[in-house]
Amino acid sequence: MHDLHVINPLGATLRHYGREISDVMAGEGVNLSETTFFEPSHSGGSRWRWIWAYVSAIWSSRSSSQVIVLWPVLGYLDVVLLRVLGPPTTYLVMHDPDPLVRAVGYGRAARWLAAIFRGPTLIAHSDSAVRVLRGSRHTVAKVPHPVLRPDANTAASATGSAVRVLGQFKRDRNVDLLRALGPILSEDYELSIHGRGWPDVPGWKVQNEYVDETTLDRLIAQSSVILIPYTRFFQSGIAVRAVEVGTPVVGPRDSWLSELLPNRSEELPAGNDPTIWAESIRKAAIPANGELANQLHAQVYEEARTRWRELMLSKR
């Protein structure tokens, strides 16, 4: 029996991801436990109290045979904390190994110190993330983004023609592409963007606000297409959640989406030609057989579950 302890320091942001981890790991041979606490933006507490809760969680996990941390609170410095305070076998999920914005623990000094200590296995979900991490001299394991069990999902319930972009604005969002798609698609589809920080985009209804988990689930399930208009990303939790409920996803072919959907990568648009993207969106929005969506979800789940359990159960 393997004792696997999960530490989730972003209890609000990564609540769904934590459920996905539980679904791919729970079962025969694994005794799963979890420590979850909320980030300051949701708890109202100080950043120092949050960091102290994280350090305490790592220390308290020393009796577990394996620990997986779902987010690096202090970037690459988490490698040092896990090596010094954690049990011998630890994993650290690196969702964004090379952030677009300045973040604590990703500078040259932090990477140098982490390279000296090493120890924890760094988990990546994409080939592009692996390429970044392998330059850091750490042990790196690539496993698929975790996925909810097929019997744990809520089926899609789109009744209109909604094409949605979900998530806060970042510099890698392809706003120029969205501006070009607006006049092409706005007469036939309800185009909307939901998330903090977005500028106005002609042809799109922009809801510039935080999207809570309940609303996010509803928006994904009631969409005809979820659009991923990113120029640079290591993975997309939004895309995985769309697969979980059977909502079609359209995004760049030359990206992690082709790893998530290898049998459908040819259906994704290549390049930035808005007419090609519009055609991909129109094809994806055509109502499909629900059984096909269920089969896709099952395939993605089984691949994730197999790979995660191979990684975790291989350590004694």
Q: Is 226 in a helix, a strand, or coil?
A: strand
255, 231 contact by CB (below 8 A):
no
Residue 311 lies in a domain: no
Residue 306 lies in a domain: no
Task: Tell me: do 47 and 120 sit in the same domain.
Answer: yes
Sequence-distant (≥ 6) Cβ neighbours of residue 274 within 8 angstroms = 177, 180, 181, 184
**In this structure, how many other beta carbons lie within 10 angstroms of the beta carbon of residue 98?**
15
The total number of structural domains that make up the chain:
2
Residue 56 lies in a domain: yes
Residue 315 lies in a domain: no
Task: Tell me: do 161 and 258 sit in the same domain.
Answer: yes
Residue 314 lies in a domain: no
Residue 305 lies in a domain: no
Sequence-distant (≥ 6) Cβ neighbours of residue 208 within 8 angstroms = 195, 196, 197, 198
Task: Tell me: do 38 and 178 sit in the same domain.
Answer: no
Task: Tell me: do 118 and 217 sit in the same domain.
Answer: no
Per-residue pLDDT of the chain (316 residues; tens, 9 = 90+): 778 999 999 999 999 999 999 999 988 788 899 999 999 988 888 999 999 999 999 999 999 989 999 999 999 999 999 999 999 999 999 999 998 888 899 999 999 999 888 789 999 999 999 999 987 778 999 999 999 999 755 666 666 799 999 999 999 999 999 999 999 999 999 999 999 999 999 999 999 999 999 999 999 999 999 999 999 999 999 999 999 999 999 999 999 999 999 989 999 999 999 999 999 999 999 887 678 888 999 999 999 999 999 998 876 5
Residue 161 lies in a domain: yes
Nearest to 237 by CA among 14, 71, 9: 14
Task: State which H helix or E strand residue 2 sits in.
Answer: strand 2-8
Task: Tell me: do 218 and 131 sit in the same domain.
Answer: no
Domain residue limits at 281: 150-298
Regarding pTM above 0.85, the answer is yes
CATH code, domain carrying 137: 3.40.50.11930
